[in-house]
Chain A
Amino acid sequence: KAGVTQTPRYLIKTRGQQVTLSCSPISGHRSVSWYQQTPGQGLQFLFEYFSETQRNKGNFPGRFSGRQFSNSRSEMNVSTLELGDSALYLCASSEAGTSTDTQYFGPGTRLTVL
């Protein structure tokens, strides 16, 4: 099976803009989770989607949102970008999204906000 893919791989935006990132899970996986990775904060959980529904959300402001489509592909959107949003955004998919499922990570999208 093909692995988790994310597009684009790199993005440069300016403050105040918005951005949409895309994640295609492994075929058959219904759960997609998003994480923000920064050198200082490690891996921070953003949210998790399962069958087009957001099931869990981390402690991020409302500027961060997401959605999942019927084919399990997921997008996350960040509006009104701030300098501190510069990070590597990783998505991970798992079969059923249970707490003991193995999560398979995508290569990430590196977002730079100028």
Chain B
Amino acid sequence: GENVEQHPSTLSVQEGDSAVIKCTYSDSASNYFPWYKQELGKRPQLIIDIRSNVGEKKDQRIAVTLNKTAKHFSLHITETQPEDSAVYFCAASKGKYSSASKIIFGSGTRLSIRP
């Protein structure tokens, strides 16, 4: 069935360094890949997303890359700051405007930024 694998499950980086989280999806029809950030005790919030017709997208310190052939996508955070500490979820979904929304989430990565 549809599946999204996310690695690593935990990640600790020095403040100022970069962090990379990787996800692999199983359904080749997937065409939308959002990333959510969930701070402790708070709700998940969308931080960046990418569609299958784009290979890379950047938003300030955050970037996402997509490799459709290999069916994997990655989140890159540069110049990490303490406020980047959170759990990050990748997700994959398919379908277009008339389709029902069914987003499959990865298992999450707990990112810790060391001062």
Residues of A in contact with B (beta carbons under 8 Å apart) = 4, 31, 33, 35, 41-45, 48, 50, 55-56, 58, 90, 94, 96-108
Contacts and interface: CB of A to CB of B under 8 A. Distances in A.
Contacts of A98: 95-99, 101
Contact of A56 (B32, B45, B101): B101
A67 B13 CA distance: 43
A99 B108 contact: no
A106 B43 CA distance: 6
B101 A31 contact: yes
Interface of B: 31-32, 34, 36, 42-46, 49, 51, 89, 93-108
A50 B100 CA distance: 8
B87 to A, nearest CB: 9
Contacts, number: 76
A47 to B, nearest CB: 9
B44 A99 contact: no
Contacts of B43: 4, 90, 105-108
A99 B95 contact: yes
A22 to B, nearest CB: 16
B105 A99 contact: no
A104 B95 CA distance: 19
Nearest to A41: B107
Nearest to B104: A45
